[in-house]
Amino acid sequence: MLTLPDIVTVLSDNPEAVVVLAVVIRLARAYQSQLTWPEYRTLHRFKRGVIPVVYLATKGKLHLLNDKGGRDDGEFVATTDKSLRDTVRAFKDDGASLHLINSIKRRPDTNGDPLSAAHLIYTVDSDQVEVYLFRNSDGSTDIYAHTEASVDNPLAHLTERQEDGDEYGVLPDAYAE
């Protein structure tokens, strides 16, 4: 089984593989940007069911499930009183795209669902701000974000530094209220 370091080595040693993977990812991004909310939710629910099982079966070697802290985590942005669906709609109306090419995030279940309920991205130059949302038991939504190299550049995405929060200031303040 290939682990993340193995994948990085294969990509580093085979630039043509990076090009092929980048093309496949761009096609997948084009596809995901056209998804309706019901289509996205169906695919994301499938991921939420499968990824934890794969993570356990591979003893965490595939990095498909990433543990985050609670509201004290550096990636926590805010809690909004909006429902998950309304929060997603607000981000989409602001220019974010639904995002499926990512790991599932997991947090302590202190405030509600421990698995991320939706992911969106803003693309800025060669980077992306990934926004991920958790549904809280009181109906509110927790917003988390990090900035990283875009998945359009798979090798950079896997190897370059990831920063907590929104490095580009693309998240509107209105969502944090």
- State residue 28's pLDDT score: 81
What is the DSSP secondary-structure string of 94-135? TT-EE--SSPEEE--TTSB-SB--EEEEEEETTEEEEEEEEE
- State residue 156's pLDDT score: 72
pLDDT in tens, 156-167: 777 788 899 999
- State residue 1's pLDDT score: 55
- State residue 161's pLDDT score: 84
Q: State CA 24 to chain mean position distance.
A: 18
Q: What is the DSSP letter of 22?
A: H
- State residue 154's pLDDT score: 74
- State residue 111's pLDDT score: 92
- State residue 2's pLDDT score: 55
DSSP H or E segment with residue 76: strand 76-80
pLDDT in tens, 55-95: 898 888 777 899 999 999 999 999 999 999 999 999 999 99
Residues of the chain with pLDDT under 50: none
Helix axes 15-33, 4-13, angle to 10 degrees: 110
Is the pTM for the entire model greater than 0.75?
Answer: yes
* Phi and psi at residue 7, to the nearest 5°: -65, -45
